Amino acid sequence: MADVGETRPEGIEGSLLKGPFAVGEYAAALARQLRGFARVQLVGEVSNLRVSRAKVYWQLRDARGALDCAMWRTDFEALGLGPGVLADGAQVVVAGGTDYYPGSAQASPHFHFAVADLRIAGEGDLLAQVDRLRRVLDAEGLLRPQKRLPRPELPRTIGVVTGEGGKARDDVLAGLRRRGWEGRLVWAFAPVQDRHAAPRITRALQDLAAVGGVDVIVVARGGGSFADLLAFCDETLCRTVALLPVPVISSVGHHTDRTLLDDVAAVCCSTPTHAAEAAVPLHPGQAREALTASARRLSVHGRRAVLVRARHLASLSRVPAAVVARQRARLHQLLRELRASAIRRGMAERGRDVRVLGASLDR
């Protein structure tokens, strides 16, 4: 790309503005100006967090605005934050200053706030409150009772708590259809995002648990910011779920989101579809196919066994006739031998009588 400064054209006639300047020249000057701004500390909520090989990127937001932020990954790892501490919805304090990449003929320009240091906001912050409540529930043993409840392989009735008009409802139905499940479904619609959500969800769970025959309950909601999902970290809701006699499957937010309800529930799933499939561990469609195949094999083996035993019985039925025939032949042989023996004996006795008579006549 030719240097525009070498062949700089005339400016706009009548304009009082300076220039024209080459884009690269002005961009470099802008970068120097922005980097010269005072370095400050900002506080806000993390969103759209992503990690690359070299840097960690996120947006810092509040109700009045947002800034793209970036921090060298080596600096971020040196902070020693635990896994998942910096996540969407976290309230953080960052220190740094504005930075600007001028771009080039092949790369786009980019403005961001270069973060040099970071800390999670203090104990008054929502995330810290949630972590503290999680520790309290764990200490009281309320994270385990749901996980001990038996779950049927093929439930007859499934209860679902979700928003009436949300996409989560369709996802649950799609998951159950894919499973081939055709049991009874009981819906309990409740708001899933506002200050009324937690008590309404709690009441819906209690109502479903009171319905006779509900084998498992699914709580489903799509993704959102940490603030959107805060209702599912309500203490009363979590304590209610922990003490329910019916297993609860939680599917709140995306796979990167984690609420207290996920910790308390019997099973935590990443999507409503996955939750529906987890509610029916046995795949009815596959079970039907396996049963049909087993019945077919049983029929084939049954027919084969009948034929084998029929041949065996037929062979056994021929054995008595053969035995009788052998005995009859033996009896005939004995009779012939008996007759021959009688004839020989009679002839011998007659011969003896003739000799005796002859001897008498000679005297």
- Three-state secondary structure along 90-154? CEEEEEEEEEEECCCCCCCCEEEEEEEEEEECCCCCHHHHHHHHHHHHHHCCCCCHHHHCCCCCC
- Specify the range with the lowest mean pLDDT, choosing from 117-131, 154-168, 288-302: 117-131
Q: How much is the pLDDT for 240?
A: 94
User: CA 184 to CA 56: how far, in whole Å?
Assistant: 47
- 338: number of CA atoms within 13 Å, CB side? 6
Name the phi and psi angles at 225, rounded to 5: -75, 170
Q: Which of these ranges, 214-228, 263-277, 308-322, has the smallest mean pLDDT?
A: 308-322
The predicted structure's pLDDT at residue 125: 57
Fold match, 19-121 / 149-282: no
**Average of per-residue pLDDT values in the chain:** 84
DSSP string covering 26-56: HHHHHHHHHHTSPPEEEEEEEEEEEE-SSEE
- Say yes or no to pLDDT of 4 above 60: no
Strand 110-120 vs strand 65-72: parallel, antiparallel, or unpaired? parallel
pLDDT (0 to 100) of residue 69: 93
> Is the sign of the CA dihedral 84, 89, 93, 98 positive or negative?
positive
Rounded Cα distance between 101 and 143, Å, is 48
Instruction: Report whether pLDDT(2) > 50.
Output: no
Instruction: Specify the CATH number of the domain 19-121.
Output: 2.40.50.140
**Which has more pLDDT, 64 or 239?**
239
Give the pLDDT confidence of 10-64 residue by residue, as tens digits. Answer: 877 777 778 788 877 887 888 788 877 888 999 988 888 989 999 999 999 887 8
pTM confidence score: 0.52
pLDDT reported for residue 17: 78
Q: Which residue has the tokens 């070299």?
A: 54
Domain ranges within the chain, ordered by starting residue:
19-121, 149-282, 289-317
Q: Tell me the longest C-alpha to C-alpha distance in the chain.
A: 192
Position 103 pLDDT exceeds 90: no
Q: Which pLDDT score, from 0 to 100, does residue 363 have?
A: 62
Instruction: Report the share of the chain in percent with pLDDT over 90.
Output: 30
* Predicted local confidence at residue 290, as pLDDT: 79
The CATH number for 149-282, chosen from 3.40.640.10, 3.40.50.10550, 3.40.50.1000, 3.40.50.720, is 3.40.50.10550
In this prediction, residues 318-343 reach a mean pLDDT of 82
Average pLDDT rounded to a whole number, residues 279-305: 84
